Amino acid sequence: MKKNLFKNVGSDVLFPLFILIVSVGFFVMSAEFNKPTADGHMHEGFFPQVLAVLVSIFAVFIIIYGIRKKPVYFKMDDEQKKNLKLVLKIAGMFIVYVIAWPFVHFIIITILFLAGMCLVLRMSIRFTAIFSTVFAAGIYFLFTKVFSILL
Amino acid sequence: MELLNAIIGVFDPMVFLFLLLGVVVGYVVGILPGLSATMAVAILTPLTFWLAPQQGFAMLIGVFNSALFAGGISALLINTPGTPASIATTFDGYALTQKGYPGLGLGINTIFSCIGGWLGTAVLIIAAFPLARFALKFGPPEYFTLAMFGLAMMISVSGKNIVKGLLTGFLGLLLATVGLDPMYSTQRFTFGNLGLMEGISFIPVMIGLFGMGEVWAQMFDGVHNQKVEKLSSMGRILPTWEELKRCAPGSLIATAISVIVGIIPGTGGDIAGIISWDQARKVSKKPEEFGRGSVEGVAVTCLANNAAMGGALITMLTLGVPGESITAILIGSLMMYGMDPGPRLFTEHSQFVMTFMALMIIAYVLILVVGLVSAKYSTIVMNVRKEIIWMTVIVLCTVGAYSMNSSYVDVIIMVLSGFAGFFFRKMNYPLGPIILGLLLGRMAEANFRRSITMYDNPLQSYYTSPIAMVLLLFILLAVIVPLVKKTKQKETAQEV
């Protein structure tokens, strides 16, 4: 059902629809600035409101085009399905890496992330061990010692 | 005299070291297909923040100039341009390699890239100061129309779908309204988050769009590592005097074309290369050789994509309008150092402008040396596996986004921009306009609001300014001409 919905609606509808929702959100939030200023000039919400309307108009254009033409950007053959799995795995690991960063020491979390990526990308164990350790430690020392940035 | 002092200043050991480092990094980035100069500058910009402006820009100038030149190496050896600007080099480059002259191709690429770079910089030196003096006359209406003109030009050449370009351009402008209002400092769309008070920082956005987005897109397209065999014989590297003489007329034409193409916002080295190749073929004594490994064909295309950068830098430095993605990112780099590109840059930071020009000249001297010495070893760099590049880029993007302000919010912005960049890429949304919108947004809004408060009639400041009127006309043309062209193409296709 979900698959059919995505296939029938198409990516040129869903993506601009998301942008349309965001721009409507901007428009609504801009309304709270619609108070006349002391000098009687343009209020702070005017510019974002105009832009939100313009973005919405172009998003609607693309949605209509998407419904009429149904362009396909993600042709999912067997190879692409395999690649998508790879992207999702690494993106998932990346999100965990970013979330865990404030709680775990940079070197440890980066070694784990790089080692995980190496394994997903089918690199050899020897390369995984050397690359993840040397790269994580190298980046840590470059930033903390040379640039004086606490990671 | 000032330029001479600036050139001497480049030989400060640290500045020179960072320039050399930038040239080497740019060389590696340029050779590897899939890594672009834009991506490298985007990732390196926050890392250079901790250096003095001269040192930081030495590195960035080294990177982008060297990447432009090195993009021609993979175009010559494996028929795949290392950067988009080298696309025209494939027309003759690979054929020249197949004819048994890979060394000659690499030598010509190095020499003519440097000649193009020096000529482009010469035009920049001659034209930038008078243009900046003229631009000092600009007021709020002119600045607003100039910002819109830059955006319109970038959208008009940003691919097949202008509506998508308009959407991303205005989306960039909309995102630029997040933070303190430029006139009354009212908080807008910050949700009480202090990290958003100064607005959405363009550096994590550009790192995400150009760095992470590219990595996700490459992963989705699959691993296609091209194994480049070590060439058994490079042959001679330096061209003969006869060959150099034969390249001269085409090179002169290519320089003129490329600088003009570079000046026009929205165009770049790729377009300059293609037009120059075509024009050089028309004036050549041996036009039949073009497309079959012509030395002239390789020379003019290598010269063109480097000379175009000189033109692009004229509009970027004097008017603050970027010619393409890379100059948009360089504007961001300048802003990071507290320098706003535009006419005031030439009055308030004239010494830095001179250093910038001097760095351009010396960067090409280093490229000449590195290019000729390393010609034989370029195939080694080309064999680096894409998976290693992906892992390196992901970690550098994350740390780079964080390092600028030590801000976790910036990392989140980078992550979101990276995913957005993937979808934008796959669905043919141009990326340049969103960055440009984000960069020019505050300037455009502030000047627009100032301009309509200047007179009782809000539009009076526009129709009383000849410069603003001319720019408005150009904006209309920039949007209408591609639409008319597209309609005509459709009609022609239907008739056929």
B221 part of contact set with chain A, CB < 8 Å: yes
Interface test with A, best of B219, B406, B428 (most A CBs within 10 A): B219
Beta-sheet strands, E only, within B359-410: none
Looking at residue B223, its pLDDT comes to 65
Polymer length in residues for chain B: 496
Compute the nearest-CA separation of B79 from chain A (Å).
Answer: 24
**Rounded to an integer, what distance in angstroms lies between the CA atom of residue B142 and that of residue B449?**
12
pLDDT category at A1 given cuts 50, 70, 90 is: very low
Q: Return the number of other C-beta atoms located less than 10 Å from residue B463's C-beta.
A: 12
Interface test with B, best of A21, A50, A55, A139 (most B CBs within 10 A): A55
Burial class (CB in 10 A: 0-12, 13-18, 19+), B328: buried
> B187: part of which helix (H) or strand (E)?
strand B187-188
SS3 (DSSP) at A32: helix
Q: Do A98 and B177 touch (CB under 8 A)?
A: no
Residues 6+ apart with CB under 8 A from B169: B151, B154, B155, B433, B434, B436, B437
**Rounded to an integer, what distance in angstroms lies between the CA atom of residue B48 and that of residue B2?**
25
In this structure, are residues B158 and B150 in contact, taking their beta carbons and an 8 Å threshold? no
In this structure, are residues A71 and B186 in contact, taking their beta carbons and an 8 Å threshold? no
Burial class (CB in 10 A: 0-12, 13-18, 19+), A105: exposed
CA distances from B217 to A78, A143, B214, B490 (A): 17, 28, 5, 30
CA-nearest residue of chain A to B453?
A: A41
What average pLDDT does this structure show over A54-59? 94
CA distances from B315 to B28, B80, B320, B350 (A): 28, 30, 6, 16
Burial class (CB in 10 A: 0-12, 13-18, 19+), B176: buried
**Rounded to an integer, what distance in angstroms lies between the CA atom of residue B60 and that of residue B359?**
10
In this structure, are residues B328 and B169 in contact, taking their beta carbons and an 8 Å threshold? no
The two tokens of residue A110 are: 């980066």
Looking at residue A117, its pLDDT comes to 93
Burial class (CB in 10 A: 0-12, 13-18, 19+), B227: exposed
The two tokens of residue A138 are: 């190298």
**What is the identity of the amino acid at B89?**
T
B450 part of contact set with chain A, CB < 8 Å: no
A47 part of contact set with chain B, CB < 8 Å: yes
In this structure, are residues A136 and A114 in contact, taking their beta carbons and an 8 Å threshold? yes
B488 part of contact set with chain A, CB < 8 Å: no
A103, A105, A109, A111: CA torsion to nearest 10: 180
Q: Do B50 and A148 touch (CB under 8 A)?
A: yes
Compute the nearest-CA separation of A80 from chain B (Å).
Answer: 7
- Side-chain-side CA neighbours of B298 within 13 Å: the count stands at 33
> B38: part of which helix (H) or strand (E)?
helix B37-48
Looking at residue A8, its pLDDT comes to 54
For residue B90, what are the β-bridge partners? none
In this structure, are residues B318 and B135 in contact, taking their beta carbons and an 8 Å threshold? yes
Interface test with B, best of A47, A68, A83, A84 (most B CBs within 10 A): A47
Cβ burial B123-157 (10 Å sphere, 16+ → b, else e): bbbebbbebbeebeebebbbbbbbbbbbbbbbbbb
Looking at residue B380, its pLDDT comes to 74
Q: Do B391 and A114 touch (CB under 8 A)?
A: yes
Backbone phi and psi for residue B180, each to the nearest 5 degrees, phi listed first = -75, 135
Q: Return the number of other C-beta atoms located less than 10 Å from residue B16's C-beta.
A: 17
Per-residue pLDDT of chain B (496 residues; tens, 9 = 90+): 778 888 888 899 999 999 999 999 998 888 876 677 888 888 888 888 888 889 999 999 999 899 888 888 888 887 777 777 788 888 898 888 888 888 899 999 999 999 999 999 999 999 998 988 888 888 888 888 888 888 787 777 665 678 888 899 899 999 999 998 888 888 888 888 887 888 888 888 988 988 899 899 989 988 665 666 666 677 788 889 999 999 999 999 999 999 988 887 766 778 888 889 988 988 888 888 888 889 999 999 999 989 998 888 998 899 888 777 788 888 888 888 888 888 888 888 888 999 999 999 999 999 999 998 887 777 777 777 888 888 998 998 899 888 878 888 889 999 999 999 999 988 888 888 888 888 888 888 888 888 888 777 777 888 888 888 998 998 888 778 777 777 777 777 776 5
In this structure, are residues B168 and B478 in contact, taking their beta carbons and an 8 Å threshold? no
**Rounded to an integer, what distance in angstroms lies between the CA atom of residue B425 and that of residue B422?**
5
DSSP code at position A105: -
CA-nearest residue of chain B to A15?
A: B423
**Rounded to an integer, what distance in angstroms lies between the CA atom of residue B397 and that of residue B99?**
41
ipTM: 0.88
The two tokens of residue A116 are: 């995980």
pLDDT category at A38 given cuts 50, 70, 90 is: low
From chain B, pick out residues whose CB is under 8 angstroms from the CB of A73: 426-428
Polymer length in residues for chain A: 151
SS3 (DSSP) at B188: strand
Compute the nearest-CA separation of A32 from chain B (Å).
Answer: 10
What mean pLDDT is reported for chain A?
85
Burial class (CB in 10 A: 0-12, 13-18, 19+), B241: exposed
CA-nearest residue of chain B to A59?
A: B167
From chain B, pick out residues whose CB is under 8 angstroms from the CB of A87: 216, 219-220
From chain A, pick out residues whose CB is under 8 angstroms from the CB of B412: 98
Q: Do A121 and B412 touch (CB under 8 A)?
A: no
Query: In Å, how far from its chain's centre is CA A12?
Result: 17
- Is the pLDDT confidence value at A35 over 80? no
**Rounded to an integer, what distance in angstroms lies between the CA atom of residue B369 and that of residue A8?**
57
Compute the nearest-CA separation of A1 from chain B (Å).
Answer: 23
> B179: part of which helix (H) or strand (E)?
strand B179-180
In this structure, are residues B40 and B394 in contact, taking their beta carbons and an 8 Å threshold? no
B403 part of contact set with chain A, CB < 8 Å: yes
Place of tokens 């000047």: B447
State the pTM of this model: 0.79
- Side-chain-side CA neighbours of B175 within 13 Å: the count stands at 20
**Rounded to an integer, what distance in angstroms lies between the CA atom of residue A76 and that of residue B126?**
53
Burial class (CB in 10 A: 0-12, 13-18, 19+), B248: exposed
From chain B, pick out residues whose CB is under 8 angstroms from the CB of A30: 188
Closest CA relative to residue B49, chosen from B37, B59, B40: B59
Looking at residue B76, its pLDDT comes to 86
Compute the nearest-CA separation of B161 from chain A (Å).
Answer: 10
